[in-house]
Amino acid sequence: GSCILSFDINEVTATSRHYVDRLFDPDPQKVLQGVIDMKNAVIGNNKQKANLIVLGAVPRLLYLLQQSSSGLDLRTECAVVLGSLAMGTENNIKSLVDCHIIPALLQGLLSPELIFIEACLRCLRTVFISPVTPVQLLYTDPTVIPHLMSLLSSSQKTQEYITQIFSHCCKTSDHQTVLFNHSAVQHIAPLLISPSYKVRMQALKCFSVLAYENTQVSMTLVNVLVDGEPLSQVFVRMMQRDQPVEMQLTAAKCLTFMCRAGAIQTEESCIVLKTLPCLVRMCSKDHLLEERVDGAETLAYLIEPDVELQRIASTTDHLVAMLADYFKYPSSVSAITDIKRLDHDLKHAHELRQAAFKLYASLGSNDEDIRKKITDTENMMDRIVSGLSESSIKVRLAAVRCLHSLSRSVQQLRTSFHDHAVWKPLMKLLQNAPDDVLIMASSTLCNLLLEFSPSKEPILESGVIELLCSLTQSDSPALRINGIWALMNMAFQADQKVKVEIVGCLGTEQLFRLLSDPDNSVLMKTLGLLRNLLSTRPHIDQIMSSHGKQIMQAVTLILEAEQSIEVKEQTLCILANIADGNTAKDLIMTNDDMLQKIKYYMSHSSVKLQLAATFCISNLIWNEEDGSQERQDKLRELGFVDVLHKLSQASDPNLSDRAKTAMQQYLA
């Protein structure tokens, strides 16, 4: 058998060789016939295509295609054969691209002959929609895009191919800008009412990729009229239920992207009554798995920032229950009945799960009732827990996003989160995860470390401090915030042991670094951590005795620096906490410079800062404590009584009360 087989292969190669040889015939008529025969031979025959490529047909075809002496028929047939070769495997595409087919075909578009242009475009289309082709090749020559725009008026075929090329090659905001600047919107908008479905569909896809996260494009789109009708209404019509699903879904995407870019208000009826219900429909069992994934992801994106849309979506067509079905693939039925279906289901199972998690995350990000509804869905917490440890990174990320969204619920933290010990897989996830997962996981951890969370204890015992401290050293501001935030939550009303461990592990050096962090919220959370560390008196004295000098330095620095009111208020609060300590008080009392600063802030224009500074003084002169007399005297000498007297007349009731209370310490 093997003998015959090898003979066959030789046979095939021999005929392939013959096809290539004919391309070199001196008689142009014979060359043309050769190309036509080759065209007929390669259709649907991947083996033949590969053979011809290996035998070097491509450079010759390209040569013939580029020669103006070749004649229109020959050049066109060459483009057709090349297009056919491109229809084969990814390897074929790679070979064609390596032979510089793209510039050659783009050059061909300058021909005056429409039939040749169409053949070139068709081949270009096939090459560009392949994932192996670098899309940048479309933008290398700056004259290409304007020329393609001008060809859009030539024929339905050019319209179809060009819009398809655009929609596949518009991957970044730079690409969007290039296309936009060449009036893509104006050129493509009329195609939305083309008589050809393919043209309408590809034009629609163009708009979806152009508008994605692009305010400029989106803002332009709302003002575009197609045949006197606003574009948004054209999209709404394309979402009608008797339209093909692909069209409904893509039109819904366009409106979603325009809405997220701020071009359409979320309460407008085309969003609430059309786009949202359309996307919910796409999630139903009636649709293909790909469509369900796409629908859920788009819906998640649409409703993410708007609680009202989240509420509406949560009541539409039993969406929350409908999504539970996304976890049932591959189903037990498919495994038995149909191996092909099993394969298909398996391929989409991860995608389905991550899409469902994403949508649950969006749904539950604000409303407590929706969160309850989600956690009440069958096996939901179990699904999240197992999702956190799935092999697919996409699923893990989506699962932790979902968990994070649900962790904003006090009730869920107290109940389901604890019952399902979600902290365990979460802690596991935090080890060696990529940044995006880490951000979500650590953010979730912040919530789990809130004082009322029953998970706080076991997490503390699992030795999380070191991990969090390492997060504060990350390059990513989000991770630094989450790290310090978690530590702050952890330090709130914590045991001395925990606090000491935090300070010890973090190190004062790192603490200082965080206090000078370029990110303001990191600074705020660090101050918050300090405040939490310096709560109850024994803790204050203990920490100040070991790190007092550095902390006082840091406080001084911040108070002297150009900082926001909030930062300074937070810092003065720390000072007030220090002033509440027994021994720690001396660190302030012996620091005249600091006292002057406090005095300064007591007369500051911001009531918040006045109040915080007054707190600080009040703590220092508090009667029942050792040495209060001396402190009172010293502060009187420094003129604080006058200041307090003045503040007791302040218009702000809190401030005047606080000042009066402080004054009373002197009277007693």
Partner 1 sequence: KQKYIHRWTTLPRRLCSCLQYILLLIRGCHTTAIFSPQSLSLSAYSSSGLTGFWIEEAIIKKKTEELGAGSLPLVDPGVYNYQEQDLNERLKRLYPAVNEEETPLPRSWSPKDKYSYIGLSQNNLRVHYKGHGKNHKDAASVRATHPIPAACGIYYFEVKIVSKGRDGYMGIGLSAQGVNMNRLPGWDKHSYGYHGDDGHSFCSSGTGHPYGPTFTTGDVIGCCVNLINNTCFYTKNGISLGVAFTDLPPNLYPTVGLQTPGEIVDANFGQQPFVFDIEDYMSEWRAKIHGMIARFPIGDRLGEWQAVLQNMVSSYLVHHGYCATATSFARATQTMIQEDQTSIKNRQRIQKLVLAGRVGEAIEATQQLYPGLLERNPNLLFVLKCRQFVEMVNGTDSEVRCLAIRSPKSQDSYPGSPNLSPRHGASNPHLHTGGTESPTCSNGVTPLKSKNRSSIKYPSASSSASSSTSSSPSSINYSESNSSDSTKSQPRSANSTQETSDSEMEIEAEHYSNGVVDGSSARIMNGTYKHEEILQPDDNSVGNGVLDEECSNGRQLCGGNQAATERMIQFGRELQALNEQLCREYGKNAAHKKMLQDAFSLLAYSDPWNCPVGQQLDPTQRESLCSALNSAILESQNLPKHPPLMLALGQATACVQLMARVRSGSCSFARVDNFLH
Q: Phi/psi of residue 611, each to 5°?
A: -60, -45
Q: How far apart are CA 120 and CA 127, in angstroms?
A: 11
**Residue 241 interacts with partner 1 (CB under 8 A): yes or no:** yes
Q: Which helix (H) or strand (E) holds 115?
A: helix 114-128
And the tokens for 285?
Answer: 């069992």
**What is residue 271's DSSP assignment?**
I
**Choice from 300, 312, 522, 588 touching partner 1 (CB under 8 A):** 312
Contacting residues for 601 by C-beta, under 8 A, at least 6 apart: 559, 568, 572, 609, 610, 612, 613
Q: 316 vs 331, which CB is nearer to partner 1?
A: 316
Q: Is 546 in the site for partner 1 (CB under 8 A)?
A: no
Residue 318 as a binder of partner 1 (CB under 8 A): the answer is: yes
User: Judged by CB, which is closer to partner 1: 322, or 464?
Assistant: 322
Q: How far is the CB of 303 from partner 1 (least distance, A)?
A: 13
Which CB atom, from 27 or from 317, has the smaller least distance to partner 1?
Answer: 317
Q: Which is nearer to partner 1, 52 or 312 (CB)?
A: 312
Q: Which positions from 322 through 351 interact with partner 1, judged by CB under 8 A? A: 322
Say whether the peptide bond before residue 134 is cis (omega within 30 degrees of 0).
no
Q: Kindly state the smallest distance separating residue 266's Cβ from partner 1, in Å.
A: 14
Phi–psi pair at 225, nearest 5 degrees: -110, 135
Q: For residue 310, give the 3-state DSSP assignment.
A: helix
Q: How far is the CB of 446 from partner 1 (least distance, A)?
A: 32
Q: How many residues bind partner 1 (CB under 8 A)?
A: 15
CA angle, 452 as apex, 449 and 456 as ends, to 5°? Answer: 35
Least distance between partner 1 and beta carbon 320 (Å): 10
Contacts of 522 (CB under 8 A, 6+ apart): 477, 480, 481, 484, 514
Instruction: Pick the closer one to partner 1 by CB: 242 or 624.
Output: 242
Contacts for 182 with CB less than 8 Å, ≥ 6 apart: 145, 146, 149
**393: contact with partner 1 by CB under 8 A:** no
Residue closer to partner 1 (CB basis): 173 or 377: 377
DSSP one-letter string for 225-238? EETTEEHHHHHHHH
**Which CB, 2 or 269, lies closer to partner 1?**
269
**Exposure on the CB side of residue 119, measured as CA atoms within 13 A:** 22
- Closer residue to partner 1 (CB): 376 or 419: 376
98 binds partner 1 (CB under 8 A): no
Q: Which stretch binds partner 1 (CB under 8 A): 37-45, 74-82, 239-247, 335-343?
A: 239-247
Least Å distance, CB 274 to partner 1, is 8
Candidates 235-243, 249-257, 382-390, 409-417; binding stretch for partner 1 (CB under 8 A): 235-243
- If the CB atoms of residues 146 and 244 are measured against partner 1, the closer one turns out to be 244
**From the centroid of its chain, how far is CA 578?**
41
In whole angstroms, the minimum distance from the beta carbon of 321 to partner 1 comes to 8
Nearest distance, CB of residue 285 and partner 1, angstroms: 12
DSSP 80-99: HHHHHHHTS-HHHHHHHHHT
Closest-CA residue to 278 (of 308, 304, 305, 251): 251
In which residue are the tokens 């973090």 written?
A: 506
Only one of the segments 74-82, 236-244, 399-407, 436-444 lies at the binding site for partner 1 (rule: CB under 8 A); that segment is 236-244
The yes or no reply on residue 315 touching partner 1 (CB under 8 A) is: yes
Of 311-319, 351-359, 391-399, 657-665, which segment contacts partner 1 by CB under 8 A? 311-319
> What's the min distance (Å) between Cβ of 273 and partner 1?
5
For partner 1, the binding residues in 264-293 under the rule CB under 8 A are 269, 272-274, 276-277
Among 159, 169, 250, which Cα is nearest to 199's?
Answer: 159
CA distance to 326, 342, 351, 584, 640, per residue, from 333 (Å): 15, 9, 20, 71, 81
Q: Which is nearer to partner 1, 152 or 322 (CB)?
A: 322
Whole-number minimum distance, CB 380 to partner 1, in Å? 16
Torsion 344-347-349-352 (CA) sign? negative
Stretch that binds partner 1, among 13-21, 127-135, 314-322, 457-465 (CB under 8 A): 314-322
Q: Closest approach of Cβ 239 to partner 1, in Å?
A: 9
Say whether residue 12 binds partner 1 (CB under 8 A). Answer: no
Nearer to partner 1, 224 or 322 (CB): 322
Provide the token pair at 351. 């995608």
Contacts of 565 (CB under 8 A, 6+ apart): 606, 608, 609
Decide: 206 and 254 in contact? Cβ < 8 Å: no
Asked if 240 touches partner 1 (CB under 8 A), the answer is yes
Q: CB nearer to partner 1: give 198 or 372.
A: 372
Are 404 and 447 in contact by the 8 Å Cβ rule? The answer is yes
Q: Minimum distance between the CB of residue 281 and partner 1, rounded to whole angstroms?
A: 9
Residues that bind partner 1 (CB under 8 A): 240-242, 269, 272-274, 276-277, 312, 315-318, 322
